[in-house]
Structure 1
Amino acid sequence: MGNSANTVRRERVVRMSVEQPLWRALMGYRVLTMLYAIGLFASAYEVYERPWVAIGYFVVLVVWTLATLPQVSGARRCTKRFLTADLTVAVVGILLSPVAGHDRAVTGGSTLPSIWTAGAVLAWALKGGWRWAASASVLIGVANVIQRGAFSRSTIHNVLLVCIASIAIGYVVEVARASERTLARALEIEAATRERERLARDIHDSVLQVLAMVQRRGSALGGEAAELGRLAGEQEIALRTLVAGGLTPTSRVSEDAAQGAVVRALDDPAAPEDPADTGEPRDLRPLLAGHAGARVTFSEPGTPVLLAPAAARELAAAVSAALDNVRRHAGEDAHAWILVEDEPDAVVVTVRDDGPGIPEGRLAQAEGEGRLGVAQSIRGRLRDIGGTAELISVPGQGTEVELTVPKQPAPKLLAPKTLVPKKLVPKKK
């Protein structure tokens, strides 16, 4: 059901594309302007000194225009090689105009391809945006100046007209692509939210109620059944946290909307499975959500917390090491809290517990004894990714580990920093 909803929304986004109608309009424009250029030549045939030059060019122009209609049907087929060849045909036509012996081509009249050349420039605009359009317009302008031998008011007027129009269209295409990506992302989030809500209702009506019943019956029966009930209670809390958090991986919007895929969905076989394979930022929240349970409370922002893949993995491993220390030293009954804060320049993850705390000097003693869990599993991991780790502990009042990772990679590794317990009052739990 979820896949069907996502598919429907992706198809709707593709149909709403602003870019595709522009490509279809360009196809019609190229054919019409080709016929217009041929009509201009036919109406002034007798004034050409070497009409065979013009006829040869128009034969090439007709064959090229009709044969390349599929290339201008969409951005996927409109390659850089085709755009270069298309612009070459336009430039050659401009330069051949005086060779054909038509005086008006030099004194201010239209060239052999006439306004067909604007279609070549518009193809560059649709494919690459306003920067590509500006480059193609400059080449057309240079060709016009060369074939006329000097600057003139009409030449400058025509070149500026084509340049401004193509740049404007290229800019509109870029804005339209950005809008389509935003819309596609919003529709995906909406579809994922609806599916998550449906799953949450189904889980609440079935799995969660069964787990709650097992917990109650087990506690009432005692013995081994009590242990089973306790485990069922922990799984109930973990499942509720996962459903409430809704940490579903987000699909990535394709940057190349010109290739006909407005959205690269999760079920796209061409999409990479692991964000780490492409170096794209990774959401930290799903990596930490699995720690939530009966004795671990997980609090996170409502929006993705993005970090470089390596930094996200190391930070998640450091959090796991901190929780292992809680279970090992604070006891199985200790409660822990994980708080994720997404700051403008850094991501801060705080792990607190309500255990007995660390006696003063105990951490340094453990390092001296070769027990480097904090020194290596936590501090070492953070140092390798340019982050810092700070431990705050008050005997009898719990321990707090604050892990800070900058969003931008550090230019060099930070110097090792020894974690020393500070006598500070922990945050109110």
Structure 2
Amino acid sequence: MSVELPLWRALTGYRILTLVYALCLVGLSYQKYEHPLGAAAYMGALTVWMVLTWRRTTSAERCTRHFLLADLGFAVGGILLTPLVDTHARIMDGAPTLPSIWTAGAVLGFAIKGGWRWAAVASSAVAVANLVERQELARDTVHNVVLVWVASVAIGYVVEVARASERTLARALQIEAATRERERLARDIHDSVLQVLAMVQRRGAAIGGEAAELGRMAGEQEVALRTLVAGGLVSPPRAAAATVPHPAGEGAADDAVAAAPAAPAAPVPEPAGDGPCDVRALLAPFAGAGVTFSEPGAPVELPAAAAAELAAAVSAALDNVRVHAGDGARAWILVEDEPRAVIVTVRDDGPGIPEGRLADAEREGRLGVALSIRGRLRDLGGAAEWVSVPGQGTEVELTVPKGTAPEGGRRGKARA
């Protein structure tokens, strides 16, 4: 909602209330005017003007510059008309002008529409009219003039600051939306294209001949694409494209996270429909000879989109086990249905991850942990936590609050 809208509504209410107040003042002092019919004629014209134009101050689009000038003209005209319809004695005694405090509404319109500069010009015009009407620098006149000038300029400045803040917020929201969409695309690329390129690289190096050249080119494209989706912050060395992962065993843990991905895992099953989905049905296909799957006896339900993202994160965690823990490593998947969240734990008996290696891998453009796992859980309002001790395996705990789903549908832009 625009920060200006409440100000326009308040201005509309102010103008209506001050018109009623000005009519009451003129009505109570009607017999004291030197020319009461002139005062009544002006107040009648002002009332008609308000009836015809009260909606003009309900929004910035309706409140045009021409309207503001005409409104200010009614206010200044009423001030200058006061000496012609009222007695000199009453004016010297401090009697109010015909429009009275309604005049401030015209000045505030300039402040909200154009900021403090417009407010300064409009309030200066009103100040000159008041001094002409009083014909002297009386204390109460100067007090009222300064009060209107300061108040209108201050409100105009606040409006300008609010507009700048609103533009900054809108820009920040656009950047956040673009960043989240980029992260979503990067996750999809990591889970498909990058893994296929890595597989071609390794297979080509193993076959040799022309296939080795094809593998080398695939490795170069993998590095270039990985750098692109990582935001161009890192330029991995060219030689990294030809690196073949070390076999699991002594010394393999040091390169665990930075090693090339394994062949793509089996596709994550898609939930049927958009209603609640049993997470167990999406995770059960991951069970196999090296993976043990443990589940509750009752359905574990999440929104379909959230369940699909959780299954994709589990798939990425198992890919890391296959690559970094070795072919002989075992993995365990445990599903827990808590009152407020679903917790999935993926544990392996591999060599573990050295401290600080996850952060180093993210800086080097390795996106498996940063986007495929942590990014998905963050977008669902959840979290991913790693517990790893070198030589004792790695445990990944994935937590998804119940009732959450990515915005925009399945695998779409997620809610922060």
TM-score by length of 1: 0.52
Alignment of 1:55-134 (within 5 A): 55-103=40-88, 104-134=90-120
List runs of 5+ in structure 1 lacking aligned partners: 1-14, 248-288, 298-429
Q: Kindly provide the CA deviation profile for residues 357-383 of structure 1, in whole angstroms up to 9, marking residues without a partner as x.
A: xxxxxxxxxxxxxxxxxxxxxxxxxxx
Are 2:230 and 1:230 aligned?
Answer: no
Equivalent position to 1:182, from 163, 168, 176: 168
1:166 maps to 2:152 = yes
CA positional deviation for 1:205: 0.9
Offset of 1:210 from its aligned partner?
1.2
With over 3 angstroms needed to count, the CA separation of the structure-2 counterparts of 1:241 and 1:66, relative to structure 1, is: farther
Give yes or no for contact 1:238–1:294 (8 Å, CA) kept in 2.
no
Measured after TM superposition, the shift of residue 43 of structure 1 is 0.9
Contact 1:45 1:51 in 2 (8 A): yes
Q: Which position in structure 1 is the counterpart of 2:194? A: 208
CA distance in 1, matches of 2:92, 2:125: 18
Alignment equivalent of 1:51, drawn from 23, 36, 43? 36
Give, in whole Å, the separation in 2 of the partners of 1:295 and 1:28.
Answer: 69
**CA distance 1:217–1:187, change in 2 (3 Å):** same
SS at match of 1:108: coil
Letter matched to residue 213 of structure 1: M
Matched, 1:25 2:10: yes
Q: 1:218 to 1:161 in 2, by over 3 A?
A: same
Question: Whole-Å Cα distance in 1 between the matches of residues 92 and 201 of structure 2?
Answer: 93
CA contact (8 A) 1:26 1:119 kept: yes
- Shift, 1:175, TM fit: 1.9
1:61 to 1:206, Cα distance in 2 relative to 1, 3 A: same
SS in 1 for 2:100: coil
Name 2:131's counterpart in structure 1. Answer: 145
Confirm or deny that 1:154 pairs with 2:140.
Answer: yes
Alignment of 1:20-419 (within 5 A): 20-103=5-88, 104-245=90-231, 295=238
CA distance in 2, matches of 1:187, 1:37: 46
Distance in 2 between the 1:64 and 1:228 partners? Answer: 81
Count of residues in Structure 1 that have an aligned counterpart in Structure 2: 239
**Contact kept? 1:219, 1:226, Cα under 8 Å:** yes
- Counterpart residue type for residue 242 of structure 1: L
Deviations 1:108-165 (A, max 9, x none): 1111100000001111111122222111111101001111222211110110111111
Q: Is the 8 A contact 1:237 1:293 kept in 2?
A: yes
TM-superposed deviation, 1:106: 4.9
Say which SS state the counterpart of residue 77 (structure 1) adopts: coil
Rounded Cα–Cα distance in structure 1 between residues aligned with 2:107 and 2:69:
10
> Could you tell me which amino acid in structure 2 is paired with residue 68 of structure 1?
T
On the 8 A contact 1:129/1:170 being kept in 2, the answer is yes
Shift of 1:293: 8.7
Structure 1 contact 54–100 (Cα < 8 Å) conserved: yes
Moved over 4 A (4+): 292-297
Would you say the 8 A contact 1:107–1:148 is kept in 2? no
Distance in 2 (alpha carbons) for counterparts of 1:296 and 1:192: 32
Q: 1:41 offset after TM fit, Å?
A: 0.8
1:9 is aligned to: none
Equivalent-residue separation in structure 2 for 1:246 and 1:25 (angstroms)? 49
Structure 1 residue 207, shift from structure 2 partner: 1.4
Give 1:102 deviation, angstroms: 4.4
For 1:293 and 1:67, the matched residues in 2 are separated by 69
TM-score when scaled to structure 2? 0.53
Is 133-142 or 221-230 further displaced after alignment? 221-230
Sort the Cα spacing of 1:233 and 1:31 in 2 relative to 1 into closer, same or farther, 3 A.
Answer: same
User: Aligned AA for 1:99?
Assistant: L
The answer on whether the counterparts of 1:133 and 1:166 sit within 8 Å (CA) in structure 2 is yes
- Kindly provide the amino acid, as one letter, of the partner of residue 139 in structure 2: R
Deviations 1:180-236 (A, max 9, x none): 233333333333333322222221111111111122223333444444333322222
| DSSP-derived class of the 1:98 partner | helix
Q: Distance in 1 between matches of 2:113 and 2:178?
A: 32
**In 2, Cα distance between equivalents of 1:134 and 1:54:** 28
**Identical positions, percent:** 66
Could you tell me how far 1:295 is from its partner in structure 2? 4.9
Q: Which amino acid aligns with 2:45?
A: V
CA distance in structure 2 between the partners assigned to 1:193 and 1:180 by the alignment: 20
